[in-house]
Each structure stands twice: as structure tokens, then as C-alpha cells.
Chains A and B, each alone.
Chain A
């Protein structure tokens, strides 16, 4: 697939999401966007996770805010249309300068507020707020000179990384980013607040639907499983497999290791079932008709909206058919 074609798909998906939100606002709650209504209502709610970390819900993708004496760090910025509301919610948490924006991936429901929230802050030297993300986020959001870009220049990552991980120290705690290739997209980062003991998963892990595997932008089912296993490796439960490290999903509720575990098991089991059907030379239509996700459909499935169960099965099928089942990298 050519770069231009891929970019058109990205623009199409973004427009679809934007249109879906507009339709939702106008139709007041029709189910046109993944996840529950409270996650995309535009009514921003704040929930203290633990330590220095708070969760903001209601702006599309979940937003995490770390506050302290040095300032404010924001992981993901929600949909552009809610950026002013998000900024107002951040200001209620802290009046300190916004020093960092981190993006878990490039989708517009997680980066739409980059420009507004980035412009509201600065570095200590007065330079623009650094937007930290994997290099592939920058690649997806930007474009060669003269070509249409997915997002305005001010929303692009300014501090990208290409290594498997990146870390820095802010507000008296280590901030660690881990990249898992070919997962939800090809530019996913997991963010660990090491002292607060909070993981931010981005859309690698959601509690609202099946994982969105964005094949057009480098995603893959094995990468999702690897990312979920990384979350399990990093999370440490406090007592009897509960609490301890909290995991903020890209959409949905706050979780811990036990919740990620069940989700990891589900994706792995569905991968195995689809792979078995591919090995038996079933077509994608036959596989979908066989309902390999039946036991999870009432919890995570959907027959309408931008990410249906059939689309999930097709994505797993295409990924496994074209790349084959790759060995775990972890």
C-alpha cells in the first residue's frame, strides 16, 4: 500500500470519527462511536488514580494528567472539539505550567487537543511545550512538503523517539515510555509513572470493545498481545492479584493487572481460534460465520459503529493470513 493511499485511509478514518462525534452530538447519544457515552460526552470528569496521577474522561480517548511542583504532564489530549474543556479541567488540578504532552499513538481522539493544550504551556526556557511520542506518530501526523497533513503542525510531536524505550524524570518521578511495534498502530507507547505506579496503555488496552487493530497504520494482533504482556510484566498487584499498579485504558475504566490478564487471555484465545480456522483453509466469511468470538461478544462486541465484531475478526484474519503467526517477542 502506498504512502498516499495509507494517508488517505488515515484521513478517512479521522473524518469518520469526527463525523461520528458530530452525529452523536446532534442525535444525543446514538451509538456511533466506540465505547460508552460517558467517554465521549464532552462533559469532562476527573478521577484521581493514585499518586500524582489523575484521569480525565469524556473527551474521546482517556487523558491522564500528572501534576507536581515542576508543572503538568498530559498523556493524550482527546478530541480537538473538547480541548478547551480539557484545558479547563487541567487548570482545576493545577495552575502550574504544562511542561510535557505525551501521545500514546496518533489517532485523533488521543491527539486532537495537542495544539490547544501544547500552546497553553511551555518549557522552563519558554520554548513550545514538547510533545513526546514514538517517531511513527510524527510520521502518521505529518506529511512531506506540499502534501496535506493529518493534523496541524503545532499538533505534531516535537520530541519523538525511535528506540524501544525512552525515559525522563519529572515531578519527582521517573516517566518511562515503552514502544511495542505493530500493535494498535505502529507508533504505540505505554507510559509508566514509576513512583505513582500508574501505567497508561493507550488503545493497546481498552475495557470497552475488542482491540482496534489498525492494519492500515501498521497495527497487528501479535503486537497487541505483546503489548498486553508487557503491561502484565510491568504491573505488580498489591495483594491477592488486586490493586498495586493501576492501568489506565485508552477507553473505559481504570484497571489493574487482573483486568489486563483477562483481556490478554481473550485476545490470545481469539488469535488461536482464527489461526486454527486459517490453517483449515476457512475463508474470512466462514470464520466470521463460525463466531470465534461468541463468548466475548456480549461484553466487547458490536454489530454497529466504527469497530464491529466482524471488523475485528477480519483484521485478525488479514493480519495472520498476511504475516503469519509470529513468535512472541517477549
Chain B
């Protein structure tokens, strides 16, 4: 009897072991070169958003003020010119994405999944070896510090230590308190990348975005993005930072009026992200003509 129990346990162990090995060896691969598709949120991603377009963003009041007083001329300051799109944003822009794996040369265990994004020459490491995130006093980077794990065939990545840049390219900032959870989901030759962006300074609730890539058999040649700042405005005092005083931006109200969107909706906020807002939208007044 005891021998039979032992045999049963041994058999179960073998089944578990084999299934584990099979599961690991059958892990989907993301390796290769991927080209983005821009059908999703195209106006936001390629031409770029208009000033005052905060639709669909769960903004805090502070973030809205930052955007309403933002002046694009700030990007002419030397130190702003070579800034990089941070990891929660960079996959949305024009880019070529290369993914490869780094494995231990002896054990072949997966150490990291690497991303190279040609825009701004960003190499991103997603650590897969279970290492902890750095302490709070460590520097932040454009790409942040990322760790990943497989959830079935979905690569789930958690990123911290992200620098300040923006949520939307019209002055809506993010903060360096941002964290991000990503899901890389491969369906054949299509890769869907889903971002859950958490930022307690700027967002009242997580912002979810997605974009698709297609597998590229023929690699593009240009993978470089050298950047060196130049003097774009001569004789500007060192302590001058372009911005608009609150209520003084010439663009206030322009987006809402041009597109006939109620000001309340153009200003964004968590409520505007959900389908239920459509009913309210019909009750809101038409946007007034800007005064300027």
C-alpha cells in the first residue's frame, strides 16, 4: 500500500515537472523587430495634440493648470532640446522597436528582455531574474527601472524610477512619481502593448493606453538619433523660462471652440473617460468663442 502511494506521488511529481518544463520551453517569443501601427489615437500620436486638448485624460486640477500655462517655447531652452520621451510615452511615437533576450551564457536562463527604440536611441532593460527595484534615492531615467514576469503568454512589466516629462505632448506633464504596468501581448505577427500609467501627482486614476506593432521581416536601416542642443534664441536671460501666466495663454478655449466640444469635456478629467459621460456631454453648453 505504502509503495503504491509512493509511486503515485512520484508519478505526480514527474507530471508536474514535465508540465513545468513544457510550459517554459513553450513560452512565446517577442524577439524580433516590430513596426508600430498608428491607427489608434492617430491625431494625438503623429500630427500631435492641439493646445488645450485634454480629452480622455483623468487630470488633476494642478496638471490642467500646468498644461494651460505651458508655452511650447520652453522646448527651445538648451537643456530641453534633447529630452527623451519617457517609457510610458515613447512606444506611441514614430519608432522602430527591436526586442531581444539576454541569457546566462552557461545556464541559458533568461536574465533580461531588452528593447531598443530608435527614437532617441533608447535601450531599455526589462529584468527577468527577480532582482528588486533600486532604493528611492536612486536616480531616475527616461526609461525607468523595469522588472518583468510572464503571465501565461503575456509579458507583464512593472517600471519605477521614471523621469518627469509629459503625458500628452501639449504640456500635460507627468511627474517623477510615475509608475507603469505594461502588458506585451503577441497575436501571431501583431504585438499589442498596453500601458497602465499611475501618477498620483497628475492623474486622479490610472490612465490606460494601447498601441499595436507588426512583425517586420525587413529591418529598417536608420537606428540612430544623435542630438546636440543649439542656441535657438539669442541673448535670452539665463533665468527666463517661457510660460504663460494663469489665464493668459492665447490658446485657452481654442481647441474646444474649433471642434465644437464643450469646454468641460475638452478639459478632461476622469469622468470624461467613460461611456456614461456621453449622456452628460449632450447636456453641456456649446463652447464660447475665445476672446482673443
Are A and B genuine complex partners?
A: yes
Tell me the A residues contacting B by CB distance below 8 Å.
36, 38-39, 45, 47, 55, 57, 207, 222, 225-226, 229, 232, 237, 239-243, 246, 252-259, 261-262, 264-265, 268-269, 272-273, 276, 292, 294-299, 327-328, 330
Cross-chain contact A328 with B241 (CB below 8 angstroms): no
Given contacts A262-B164, A268-B239, contact A294 B139 (CB under 8 A): no
- Please measure, in the bound complex, the distance between the C-alpha atom of A240 and the C-alpha atom of B62, giving whole angstroms: 28
Report if B3 contacts A (CB, 8 A). no
A residues in contact with B175, CB < 8 Å? 298-299
Tell me the B residues contacting A by CB distance below 8 Å.
60-63, 65-66, 69, 74, 77, 79-84, 120-122, 135-142, 163-164, 173, 175-177, 200-202, 225, 227, 237-241, 243, 245-246
Cross-chain contact B137 with A57 (CB below 8 angstroms): yes
Cross-chain contact A237 with B241 (CB below 8 angstroms): no
Q: In angstroms, how far is the closest chain A Cβ from the Cβ of B173? A: 8
Given contacts A47-B137, A240-B120, A242-B84, contact A299 B239 (CB under 8 A): no
Q: Which residue of B lies closest to A49 (CB)?
A: B139
Q: Which residue of A lies closest to B227 (CB)?
A: A240
- Please measure, in the bound complex, the distance between the C-alpha atom of A240 and the C-alpha atom of B241, giving whole angstroms: 21
A residues in contact with B61, CB < 8 Å? 294
Taking a contact as CB atoms closer than 8 A, the residue among B84, B136, B173 that contacts A240 in the complex is: B84
Cross-chain contact A295 with B66 (CB below 8 angstroms): yes
Cross-chain contact A328 with B238 (CB below 8 angstroms): yes
Q: Can you report 17 A-B residue pairs in the complex whose CB atoms are below 8 A from each other?
A: A36-B136, A55-B137, A222-B239, A240-B82, A240-B120, A240-B225, A241-B82, A253-B140, A257-B79, A258-B163, A259-B139, A259-B140, A265-B74, A269-B241, A273-B245, A295-B65, A299-B175
Cross-chain contact B138 with A261 (CB below 8 angstroms): no
Given contacts A254-B138, A258-B83, A272-B245, contact A294 B65 (CB under 8 A): yes
- Please measure, in the bound complex, the distance between the C-alpha atom of A264 and the C-alpha atom of B63, giving whole angstroms: 18
Cross-chain contact B239 with A240 (CB below 8 angstroms): no
A residues in contact with B84, CB < 8 Å? 240-242
Can you list the 10 inter-chain pairs with the closest CB atoms, starting with the nearest?
A295-B66, A328-B239, A295-B62, A268-B241, A298-B201, A241-B82, A295-B65, A261-B79, A253-B137, A254-B139
Given contacts A237-B82, A242-B142, A255-B139, contact A229 B177 (CB under 8 A): no
